[in-house]
Structure 1
Amino acid sequence: MLTYKTGISKTEHDEFVKASHQTNLLQSSDWAQVKDNWGSERLGFYQDDVLVASASVLIRPLLLGMTMLYVPRGPVMDYSNPDLVKEVIAALKAYGKTKRALFIKFDPALLLKQYKIGQETEENEETLTQLANLQKAGARWTGRTKEIAESIQPRFQANVYTEAELTKSFPKHTKRLMKDAQKRGVETSRGDVADVKAFADVVALTESRKGVALRNEAYFKKMMTIYGDDAYLHLAKVNLPKRLQEYKEQLAQVEKELSETEEHQKKRLTKLRQQEASISKYIKEFEDFVEKYPDELIIAGILSVRFGNVMEMLYAGMNDEFKKFYPQYSLYPKVFEDAYQDGIVWANMGGVEGSLDDGLTKFKANFNPTIEEFIGEFNIPVSKLLYPLANYAYETGKKMRNNH
């Protein structure tokens, strides 16, 4: 018989999740601290006193003392074992009744497909068997949704598997833009809590440009504090006056070489004149910038969090005035490089639309990601009487939010 216990220790839960093939930041015990506008609980499921499944559960209060429970990217267990799946679903339902839950939502870290953009692949047979086990256990599947807005977590994500010399796999135009960022003096480094305000400022610029609401300085600071060394804040900086001076010195050198080059050295003259025109263009561009930004400044950033040997790239922002500096093409490779050096096997760039024709996919394609299609969301009805109405209200509210 399976038994479950509430309030298992953070260590027991986290070590179980990290040792599984379903390791995901959203099932880390600390994620519940980040989502402190929800209640939370950790449930351990045992057979003969051995932990065989675990779930970090988020609890949202509803009207009249009711609740909705959500298990992001969990529960973590062997979904190929139909008996275990049946007992865990039943135990979750029993726990839900103690919380007066109308229903429980969960979206396990099970992949239907993995492929490169443009590739064709079949759905994973093992995952389809796991899907059947869940449905037989009474979990109601929401299906193969395509749009990000249709589920709490994206069903499709762009994931980069780290390796040495990863940039060699990038498309040619990505490598060119990486060089352009370098030419403009973009420097990338890892920041700390002291840099959070500057990062929050560039995120706010992104929010304003895209008309979306992300997070504020206090939220980012909380994440950096909760996750400590496992929080990676990568920043792209430029020192405009310094770079302008370097361009002027380069131009002086080119002009000197031009004056010393004979007329019959046509190839050399052509090359030097091209350099002169290119550097002069940069000087004009930077002179305009230096008037507004006389000091070194942060123009873009990415906040990522590690859990076990995987990483989620959660928030990114950029000052759009510097879009031609291409800071993302300096930042993203640096995140992947640092992740690889720290033994992280993949860095998730985040969700994309299932059609793979949206702007997010087109941008993320620059880094040769693997597209991963998850199995999707499930509901466990807890209140037979109220579940249909509660689920209808939930879906209606979601549509209304997405239409605004």
Structure 2
Amino acid sequence: MSFSQPVRAAAGNPVVRPINAAEHLAFVRAQRSVSFLQTPAWGRVKTEWRSESLGWFDGRRLVGAGLVLHRPVPRLDRFTLAYLPEGPVIDWSGEIGVWLDPLAAYLKEHGAFAIRLGPPVVTDTWSAAQVKEGIAAPDIRRLTDLPGQWGDPVGAQVTGRLSGGGWLPQSPEGGFGVGHPQFKYEIPLTGRTEDDVLRGMNQQWRRNIKKAARARVEVAVGEVTLGEDLKAFHDLYVHTAERDRFTPRPLRYFETMFAEMRAEDPERIKLYLARHQGDLVAAAVLIRVGAHAWYSYGASATEKREVRGSNACQWAMIRDSLAAGCDVYDLRGITPTLDADDAHVGLVQFKVGTGGQAVRYVGEWDLPLRPMIYRAFDLYMRRRAR
């Protein structure tokens, strides 16, 4: 499911100009759902980028908004890559040129050599049953090999118009890479009860939730303002990173994230801590904007894995998302692999166990505004990735 669309613009082309954080936040709050990556607070979290809020105006009426993150070109600081992660928040269902052309003109005038954006628009959806069948089938290697997926006509239209307008697709075939993932796993919540969501999970997930309850795993929302709970989460997160071989973010990053996002909305971000007999066995970060909830970061202990603290954390966050009236619980990125021999398929299988559906979004696209500088930047990034 794509994020809900903002109010439609009138027949005239909207005008792009800067807006302040208060105007931007008011627009976000008026929408059913907006990515947390398109909130003013996110610009303050990403301290290595310069951020600005832009608005699309139909006369005096604000009809669209976007958070732009600017990254300078090495040795050419007056030029920037202008990045709108999972945005902008505009009406993607019509003629997108009336929205994107004034954005390109404004950003080029203010020193951008290229725009990168990720339309919050779905192209394809696969049910949990389809994904399970694909993993079991020896001739199926990727989600896109599965027959019978549901295709969104708006997604197909946006993809075609971006391609025809000179935009270049950036989403990696493997699903992960620079930017944000094109393939995600989501649990629809609209009109569902806790029992209904539980019934949609596979037997292993239901069994693990029951195991955690029988073991008396206790899940509580942390008091991050005290610092102790956030430090406990980070220690466990670093332990998880060492075990699973990924690079952890520093504690300061999470301190900034919680401070900025809570200042914007006290309910925006929460820390869940699962304890067994006083021992922290799992922890997770939940973010919510409007009717969309995201499982953002997680950590788990190597000891006491049999008490299933991670499942207990997930179930607590899903239940709270239901109680908050959310339309979707977003488990974030997956790769499109269904190959049983691929190391990434384990993550897909874990998320498929929740029920829900695999979703492909339009992905991230670049529009070069100064082609020579863009080519130099692209070469620089390719060399860094080696």
Larger radius of gyration: 1
Aligned to 2:270: 232
CA distance, structure 1, for counterparts of residue 175 and residue 159 of structure 2 = 21
C-alpha change, 1:390 and 1:218, in structure 2 (3 Å) is closer
Q: For 1:285-296, list aligned pairs within 5 A.
A: 296=278
C-alpha change, 1:366 and 1:122, in structure 2 (3 Å) is closer
Aligned to 2:91: 78
Aligned to 2:34: 23
Aligned to 2:128: 117
Amino acid at match of 2:198: T
> Structure 1 residue 45 and structure 2 residue 76: aligned?
no
Give the superposition deviation at 1:30.
Answer: 0.8
* Cα deviation digits, residues 281-330 of structure 1 (max 9, x gap): xxxxxxxxxxxxxxx12111001111122112111001111222211111
Aligned residues: 339
CA distance, structure 2, for counterparts of residue 44 and residue 33 of structure 1 = 18
For the aligned residues, what is the CA RMSD? 2.0
Amino acid at match of 2:174: E
CA distance, structure 2, for counterparts of residue 315 and residue 213 of structure 1 = 13
Aligned to 1:92: 103
Give the superposition deviation at 1:356.
Answer: 4.1
Amino acid at match of 2:15: T
Give the superposition deviation at 1:372.
Answer: 1.2
CA distance, structure 1, for counterparts of residue 351 and residue 337 of structure 2 = 14
> Structure 1 residue 342 and structure 2 residue 324: aligned?
yes
Aligned to 2:335: 353
The answer (yes or no) to whether the contact 1:304–1:311 under 8 Å persists in 2 is yes
Report the secondary structure of 1:367's partner residue: coil
Report the secondary structure of 2:315's partner residue: helix
* Cα deviation digits, residues 60-101 of structure 1 (max 9, x gap): 12222122111001111122322xx22332222223324432
Report the secondary structure of 1:320's partner residue: coil
Aligned to 2:119: 108
Pick one of 176, 181, 187 that aligns with 2:212: 181
The answer (yes or no) to whether the contact 1:79–1:133 under 8 Å persists in 2 is no
C-alpha change, 1:347 and 1:5, in structure 2 (3 Å) is same
CA distance, structure 2, for counterparts of residue 201 and residue 348 of structure 1 = 25
Report the secondary structure of 1:394's partner residue: helix
CA distance, structure 1, for counterparts of residue 33 and residue 120 of structure 2 = 5
CA distance, structure 1, for counterparts of residue 346 and residue 55 of structure 2 = 40
The answer (yes or no) to whether the contact 1:104–1:379 under 8 Å persists in 2 is yes
The answer (yes or no) to whether the contact 1:22–1:76 under 8 Å persists in 2 is no
Aligned to 1:388: 375
Percent of pairs with identical residues: 24
Pick one of 329, 333, 351 that aligns with 1:364: 351
What TM-score do the two structures reach when normalised by structure 2?
A: 0.82
* Cα deviation digits, residues 351-370 of structure 1 (max 9, x gap): 00011452211111221132
The answer (yes or no) to whether the contact 1:174–1:329 under 8 Å persists in 2 is yes
The answer (yes or no) to whether the contact 1:89–1:139 under 8 Å persists in 2 is no
> Structure 1 residue 2 and structure 2 residue 1: aligned?
no
C-alpha change, 1:392 and 1:123, in structure 2 (3 Å) is farther
What TM-score do the two structures reach when normalised by structure 1?
A: 0.79
C-alpha change, 1:61 and 1:387, in structure 2 (3 Å) is closer
Give the superposition deviation at 1:21.
Answer: 6.4
C-alpha change, 1:131 and 1:221, in structure 2 (3 Å) is same
Q: Show structure 1 runs of 5+ residues with no match.
A: 240-295
Aligned to 2:156: 128
Aligned to 2:198: 167
Aligned to 1:201: 235
More divergent stretch after superposition (94-103 vs 333-342): 94-103
Report the secondary structure of 2:159's partner residue: helix
Amino acid at match of 1:156: F
Report the secondary structure of 2:304's partner residue: helix
The answer (yes or no) to whether the contact 2:233–2:283 under 8 Å persists in 1 is yes
Pick one of 277, 283, 292 that aligns with 1:310: 292
